[in-house]
């Protein structure tokens, strides 16, 4: 569960990225965060990831106040989240299998756990047959599925997708969104940050629109 209580963020440059936002995202929800460029979406993500701290207000994730957690506890907070990036963030010198396994190794998973979990997740995203391929040998949609597999592999309680369809064609975008929906149906909270209104209208879910650091709309 993500709770924002009157959260503001002012950067040292003086930019007011968020102005007193309050919201609550329950476990298992599917939420779109929409807004134009510079609306405050990225700041919203940075705050959730505890990459930035709020200038005012309080953020609580799964009952933990992010302003009170210690620096060394941040990695454990992030393990609750799986991130899907717009530009996929895959390491091209590694094959698909290793890109996914990399996320498990980074949290200290055992070799046995990796051997069991990675093929299962690749099967889930429909890429088991391409496990030995390099990311550059895959299409944009496939690369995003690898990115999604990497986000899922550590079994996070929420998936945060930052413009997941920004770099792929409409057909593939639809596939990715279907996958995210399927993941959400299993009980995982999914937060999709996007500026594509068409995408938002095509799928059910809660829509939070941010504009100039304020919530403009919060509806289903």
Partner 1 sequence: MHWHCKKRQSRKLYNMSGLGYLIKEGFHSIWNNKIMSIASIGVLFSCLILTGAAAMLSVNVSQAVENVGESNVTTVYLKNEVSSLQAVSVMRDIEKIDNVAGCEFYSKEDAIASFKGELDSVYEYMQGDANPLPNAIKVTMADLAKYDDTIKEIMKIEETDSYSNAGEVAKTLTRISSLIGNMSFWIILVLSIISLFIISNTIRATMYSRRYEISIMKSVGATNTFVRIPFIVEGMFIGLVSAVLSILGLMLLYNILMDLVQSTIPFDAIPFGSVAGVISLCFIVAGVGIGTLGALFSIGRYLKKEGNEILGW
Which residues form the interface with partner 1 (CB under 8 A)?
42, 45-46, 49, 51, 61-64, 72-83, 85, 87, 89, 91, 102-103, 105-111, 113, 150, 154, 157, 162
Cβ of residue 98: shortest distance to partner 1, in angstroms?
11
Residue pair 118/101 in contact (Cβ under 8 Å)? The answer is: yes
Q: Between residues 105 and 178, which has the closer beta carbon with respect to partner 1?
A: 105
Residue pair 25/19 in contact (Cβ under 8 Å)? The answer is: no
Cβ of residue 83: shortest distance to partner 1, in angstroms?
5
> What is the CB-side half-sphere exposure of residue 149 using CA atoms within 13 A?
30
Cβ of residue 162: shortest distance to partner 1, in angstroms?
7
Q: Between residues 60 and 128, which has the closer beta carbon with respect to partner 1?
A: 60
Q: Between residues 69 and 174, which has the closer beta carbon with respect to partner 1?
A: 69
Q: Between residues 12 and 63, which has the closer beta carbon with respect to partner 1?
A: 63
Cβ of residue 181: shortest distance to partner 1, in angstroms?
23
Q: Which helix (H) or strand (E) holds 98?
A: helix 96-106
Beta bridge partners of 218: 208
| Alpha-carbon span 196 to 207, nearest angstrom | 12
| Alpha-carbon span 182 to 188, nearest angstrom | 9
């Amino acid at each position: 569960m993500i709770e924002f209580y009157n959260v503001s963020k002012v950067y040292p440059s003086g930019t007011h990225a968020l102005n007193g936002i309050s919201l609550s995202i329950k476990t298992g929800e599917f939420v779109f965060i929409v807004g134009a460029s510079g609306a405050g979406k990225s700041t919203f993500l940075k705050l959730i990831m505890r990459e930035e701290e709020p200038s005012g207000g309080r953020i609580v994730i799964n009952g933990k106040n992010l302003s009170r957690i210690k620096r060394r506890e941040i990695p454990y907070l992030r393990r609750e989240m799986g991130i899907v990036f717009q530009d996929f963030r895959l390491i091209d010198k590694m094959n698909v299998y290793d890109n996914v396994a990399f996320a498990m190794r980074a949290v200290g998973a055992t070799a046995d756990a990796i051997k069991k979990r990675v093929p299962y997740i690749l099967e889930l995203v429909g890429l088991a047959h391409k496990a030995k391929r390099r990311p550059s040998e895959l299409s944009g949609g496939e690369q995003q599925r690898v990115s999604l597999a990497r986000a899922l592999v550590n079994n996070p309680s929420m998936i945060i997708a930052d413009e997941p369809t920004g770099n792929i064609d409409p057909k593939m975008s639809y596939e990715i969104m279907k996958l995210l929906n399927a993941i959400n149906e299993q009980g995982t909270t999914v937060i999709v940050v996007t500026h594509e209104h068409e995408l938002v209208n095509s799928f059910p879910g809660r829509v939070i629109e941010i504009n100039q650091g304020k919530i403009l709309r919060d509806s289903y």
